[in-house]
Amino acid sequence: MTTFFEKLFDYNYQSNLRVIEALLIQETKSSSKALELLGHIQQVHAVWNRRAATPGQLEEANLAAGLQDTETVNYQNTLWLIRHASLSELVHYQTTTGLARADSRQDLLFHILNHSTYHRAQIATECRHQGTEPVATDYLLYAWKSKPYQ
């Protein structure tokens, strides 16, 4: 399971970096909505990393840093969790509305992936609305190549 999650998070990381690169290159054509969604992906990733960890275990993601830097810190923190924390362990946390919850760490990690994919699709739609071709981030495009996106 650890290797599988590492591969999925590498895919997520590579996909997000490609979207960041495309949005920065097309900055004049990129909508504020696309950039807002990208920031949301990163912010929520950092929140779930913190929830899944014991306080002090992870580097704090600086959301004011550059998009690539924030993405890298989120990715490295998630890899640390995958490699050093029990994936089946229940994690107790509170939702943003204050509801007490307990879910397995692997469910929290999968939620990060699903959340990112969902919002990358919204970014792709926004790019089309702005008249630009979105970056292809399908998982199989990543999996078919020994090195992502080359």
Measured CA to CA, the distance from residue 25 to residue 22 in angstroms comes to 5
Q: Is the dihedral of CA 130, 45, 4, 73 positive or negative?
A: positive
Residue 95: inside a domain, yes or no?
Answer: no
Structural domain of residue 30, as residue ranges? 2-85+103-143
Q: Which among 83, 25, 92 is positioned nearest to 52, based on CA atoms?
A: 92
pLDDT at position 12 is 98
Residue 132: inside a domain, yes or no?
Answer: yes
Residue 91: inside a domain, yes or no?
Answer: no
77, 59 Cβ separation under 8 angstroms: yes
Q: What is the mean pLDDT of the chain?
A: 91
pLDDT at position 56 is 85
Tell me how long the chain is: 150
Residue 137: inside a domain, yes or no?
Answer: yes
DSSP state of 147: S
Model confidence pLDDT, tens digit, residues 40-67: 999 999 999 999 998 888 888 776 678 9
What average pLDDT does this structure show over 115-139?
A: 95
Measured CA to CA, the distance from residue 27 to residue 42 in angstroms comes to 18
Give the number of domains in the chain: 1
CATH assignment of the domain containing 55? 1.20.120.450
